[in-house]
């Protein structure tokens, strides 16, 4: 039996309906025909500080990705298949329509909808301060072709959201040696070298993880990501970081000044861009700067558009960082062993819910050295809840772990010495033959890509089909990418690499040594169960041949894959050998860090098959 626990939730659907009505009155007063509210902030972040969670505040949909469009007679949220079930439930009763995005679409469907439904002569408004340059260009082109005007100089949320949060105020701190193995001055020198190669005297950076990496700083402005809200303008001799007042201690300012880095008020960043002299050349990443900021640059300044050099630099972990990450994975594996030992012992004796799993797993990680916070909100989904890739249990709605089925747990930690992200599926009671078949097919996909050898520089999206091949062969598929880059005590999602056939195979997605990426194929059966098996891997040299340099993956994650869920008849001998070798490595490296019940659990779950 799977009892779903529900308690009263606030705000309710009627609250969101009233908020939409208030927004419509504002649109009518200003003679706007439609408003677009993206899931974005002035830094185009994936995870947003409270101030910029307007789409969630207006609609009630809490997923990390989605776009809200409101007119006088329509309101809809566009989301991809990862969020369909979640959005359908959260939008129910609000009057807001779920608009399903299909994988592989070349044009943003909400842009097409606006172009087709706003009448000629109408006006669409969106806050340019949170609208990416590429998105702004696509939107303007589509609307102009239909005779519709685009306004990007108005933030309508300010007038309809009375309790809107201000700027986050968590302090900024230094990510110091030994964990920060490359000095700030050395990183700045590399960026300036890239600037000179592009002929640029200035480089403007808005992406928070790029800033944190470049200046060896960390913060707490964004949940789960140790970053701080800021911009930076880097010159060939000095640099300025724009941070809200009161966040940077005097001692840190002094340390920054020794590297010719000045701290200025956050709000002064647009003025600094506007003050660049005519004839100067400015390097910006058009995918990582907003339309509103780029508009501030004077016409006499030449703009060079290219990927932020720091994006490439931070993705390629140094040998020293790699060693720290390996040690972090051992500690994280020990925390998982302690958790799973408790879980298997308590199951059937204690009342365990999806929320309990989050609580106990977080506590186990918190006991490990260097732990700072989770790297994302824990996903613990039992049976049907596991079929939602981005499910999150809440006090208002969650399941009790009892009866029969599959429990999916996707979790991770931020440590001073690295970032972790792992998904495991464990059996509860009896597991059916169909569930074992799905699990084994997903495992085959994980192993296939984990064992791959490939040319250095291959565009990462092209590797996606290696993991999907065993799943496609079984007539199944999944609606998310197979892998994302992972930071070093930074964002759990980073680029430039991404293993996903939904992503374009652009030159900057090339695989290089030292990159850390997830491998996480899955199968999801709505209303039944979900399976995803995720490890983090690091690109390593695999030798040279007459055909060039090759790379392979070093598996970093150290936690057993539950063999009770495997249909052994579906595994080849080489696949069994890989799994046995992986489990031997897990046991050897994690065992010294655990004792008692955790050690006994580890030995049992790493037995050879």
Residue 566 and residue 470 in one domain: yes
235 CB burial (10 A radius; 0-12, 13-18, 19+): middle
Domain count, the chain: 3
Tell me whether residue 165 is in a domain: no
Residue 490 and residue 569 in one domain: yes
Q: What is the CA radius of gyration of the chain?
A: 25
Token output for 334: 């020990």
Per-residue model confidence (pLDDT) at position 10: 63
Token output for 472: 């496609």
- CB atoms inside a 10 Å sphere around CB 183: 12
Token output for 437: 């078949």
Residue 68 β-bridge partners: 37, 77
Residue 272 and residue 324 in one domain: no
Tell me whether residue 337 is in a domain: yes
What is the tens place of the pLDDT at every residue in 549-564?
A: 999 999 999 999 999 9
Q: At what angle do helices 319-346 and 573-590 cross, to 10 degrees?
A: 90
Tell me whether residue 33 is in a domain: yes
E strand map for 479-588:
483-485, 494-499, 516-519, 522-525, 529-532, 535-545, 548-555
Residue 86 and residue 191 in one domain: no
448 CB burial (10 A radius; 0-12, 13-18, 19+): buried
Q: How many CA atoms lie within 13 A of 82 on its CB side?
A: 15
Tell me whether residue 167 is in a domain: no
| pTM summary value | 0.91
**Distance, CA of 322 to CA of 152 (rounded, Å):** 43
**Distance, CA of 568 to CA of 159 (rounded, Å):** 61
Per-residue model confidence (pLDDT) at position 99: 92
Q: Which residue has the tokens 């490296």?
A: 589
Query: How would you write 407-433 as a 3-class SS string?
Result: EEEEECEEECCEECCEEEEEEECCCCH
- Of 108, 134, 160, which residue is a domain's last? 160
Per-residue model confidence (pLDDT) at position 7: 38
CATH number at residue 33: 3.40.350.10
Residue 155 and residue 177 in one domain: no
Phi, psi of 44 (to 5 degrees): 55, 45
Q: Please answer whether residues 538 and 515 qualify as being in contact, where contact means their C-beta atoms are separated by less than 8 angstroms.
A: yes
Residue 152 and residue 180 in one domain: no
**Distance, CA of 329 to CA of 335 (rounded, Å):** 10
**Distance, CA of 428 to CA of 406 (rounded, Å):** 6
Per-residue model confidence (pLDDT) at position 3: 46
Classify 50 as helix, strand or coil: helix
First-to-last C-alpha distance (Å) of the chain: 31
Residue 151 and residue 254 in one domain: no
Residue 400 and residue 390 in one domain: yes
Residue 297 and residue 185 in one domain: yes
Per-residue model confidence (pLDDT) at position 103: 59
Residue 273 and residue 358 in one domain: no
Per-residue model confidence (pLDDT) at position 83: 83
Cβ neighbours of residue 350 closer than 8 Å, sequence gap 6 or more? none
Residue 305 β-bridge partners: 284
Of 414, 421, 490, the residue nearest 213 (C-alpha)? 490
Per-residue model confidence (pLDDT) at position 1: 36
Cβ neighbours of residue 270 closer than 8 Å, sequence gap 6 or more? 292, 293, 296
Tell me whether residue 79 is in a domain: yes
Per-residue model confidence (pLDDT) at position 4: 43
Classify 290 as helix, strand or coil: strand
Phi, psi of 528 (to 5 degrees): -125, -75
Residue 390 and residue 274 in one domain: no
**Distance, CA of 609 to CA of 607 (rounded, Å):** 7
- Of 314, 345, 367, which residue is a domain's last? 314
- CB atoms inside a 10 Å sphere around CB 176: 11
Tell me whether residue 307 is in a domain: yes
Residue 78 β-bridge partners: 67, 99
H/E stretch holding 77 reads: strand 75-79
Boundaries of domain holding 57: 4-160
Report mean pLDDT in 10-residue bins for the chain, 609 residues.
Answer: 44 92 95 95 91 94 90 93 84 93 68 94 95 92 95 93 93 95 96 97 97 98 95 98 96 97 97 96 95 94 96 97 98 98 96 96 98 96 91 87 97 98 98 98 98 97 98 96 97 96 93 98 96 98 96 98 98 98 98 98 98
Residue 290 and residue 429 in one domain: no
Per-residue model confidence (pLDDT) at position 575: 98
Tell me whether residue 141 is in a domain: yes
604 CB burial (10 A radius; 0-12, 13-18, 19+): exposed
Tell me whether residue 210 is in a domain: yes
Q: Please answer whether residues 316 and 514 qualify as being in contact, where contact means their C-beta atoms are separated by less than 8 angstroms.
A: yes
- Of 261, 295, 314, which residue is a domain's last? 314
Q: Which residue has the tokens 């020794």?
A: 258
**Distance, CA of 376 to CA of 392 (rounded, Å):** 11
Per-residue model confidence (pLDDT) at position 388: 87
H/E stretch holding 99 reads: strand 97-100
């Amino acid at each position: 039996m799977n009892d779903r626990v529900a308690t009263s939730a606030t705000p309710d659907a009627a609250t969101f309906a009233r908020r939409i009505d208030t927004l419509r009155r504002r649109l009518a007063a200003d003679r706007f025909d439609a408003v677009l509210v993206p899931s974005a902030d002035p830094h185009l972040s994936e995870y947003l500080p409270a101030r910029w969670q307007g789409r969630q505040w207006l609609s009630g949909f809490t997923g990390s990705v989605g776009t809200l469009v409101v007119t006088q007679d329509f309101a809809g949220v566009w989301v991809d298949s990862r969020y369909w079930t979640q959005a359908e439930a959260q939008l129910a009763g609000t009057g807001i329509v779920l608009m399903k995005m299909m994988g592989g679409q070349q044009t943003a469907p909400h842009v097409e909808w606006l172009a087709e439904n706003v009448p000629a002569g109408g006006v669409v408004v969106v806050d340019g301060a949170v609208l990416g340059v590429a998105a702004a260009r696509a939107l303007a082109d589509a609307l102009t072709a239909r005779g519709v005007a685009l306004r990007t100089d108005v933030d309508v949320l300010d007038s309809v959201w009375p309790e809107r949060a201000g700027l986050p105020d968590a302090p900024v701190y230094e990510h110091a040696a030994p964990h920060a193995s490359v000095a700030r001055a050395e990183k700045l020198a590399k960026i300036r070298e890239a600037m000179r190669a592009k002929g640029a005297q200035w480089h403007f950076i808005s992406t928070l993880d790029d800033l944190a990496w470049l200046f060896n700083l960390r913060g707490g402005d964004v949940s789960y990501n140790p970053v701080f809200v800021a911009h930076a303008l880097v010159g060939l001799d000095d640099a300025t970081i724009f941070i809200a007042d009161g966040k940077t201690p005097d001692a840190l300012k002094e340390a920054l000044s020794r590297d010719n880095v000045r701290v200025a008020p956050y709000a002064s960043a647009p003025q600094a861009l506007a003050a660049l002299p005519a004839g100067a050349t400015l390097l910006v990443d058009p995918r990582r700067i907003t339309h509103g900021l780029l508009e501030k640059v004077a016409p006499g300044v030449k703009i060079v558009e290219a990927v932020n050099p720091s994006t490439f630099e931070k993705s390629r972990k140094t040998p020293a960082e790699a060693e720290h990450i390996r040690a972090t994975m051992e500690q994280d594996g020990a925390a998982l062993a302690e958790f799973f030992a408790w879980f298997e012992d308590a199951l059937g004796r204690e009342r365990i819910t999806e929320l309990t799993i989050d609580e106990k797993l977080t506590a186990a990680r918190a006991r490990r050295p260097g732990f700072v916070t989770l790297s994302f909100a824990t996903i613990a989904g039992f049976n049907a809840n596991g079929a939602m890739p981005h499910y999150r249990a809440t006090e208002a709605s969650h399941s009790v772990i009892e009866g029969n089925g599959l429990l999916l747990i996707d979790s991770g930690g931020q440590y001073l010495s690295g970032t972790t992200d792992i998904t495991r599926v464990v059996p509860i009671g009896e597991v059916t033959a169909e569930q074992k078949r799905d699990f084994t097919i997903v495992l085959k996909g994980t192993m296939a890509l984990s064992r791959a050898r490939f040319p250095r520089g291959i565009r990462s999206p092209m590797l996606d089909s290696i993991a999907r091949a065993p799943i496609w062969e079984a007539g199944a598929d999944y609606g998310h990418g197979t892998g994302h880059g992972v930071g070093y005590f930074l964002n759990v999602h980073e680029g430039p690499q991404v293993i996903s056939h939904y992503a374009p195979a652009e030159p900057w997605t090339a695989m290089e040594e030292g990159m850390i990426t997830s491998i996480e194929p899955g199968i999801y059966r709505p209303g039944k169960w979900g399976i995803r098996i995720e490890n983090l891997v690091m690109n390593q040299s695999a030798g040279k041949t007459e055909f060039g340099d090759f790379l392979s993956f070093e598996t970093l994650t150290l936690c057993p894959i539950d063999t009770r869920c495997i249909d052994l008849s579906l595994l080849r001998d080489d696949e069994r050998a890989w799994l046995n070798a992986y489990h031997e490595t897990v046991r050897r490296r994690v065992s010294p860090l655990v004792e008692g019940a955790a050690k006994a659990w580890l030995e049992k779950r790493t037995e050879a098959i």
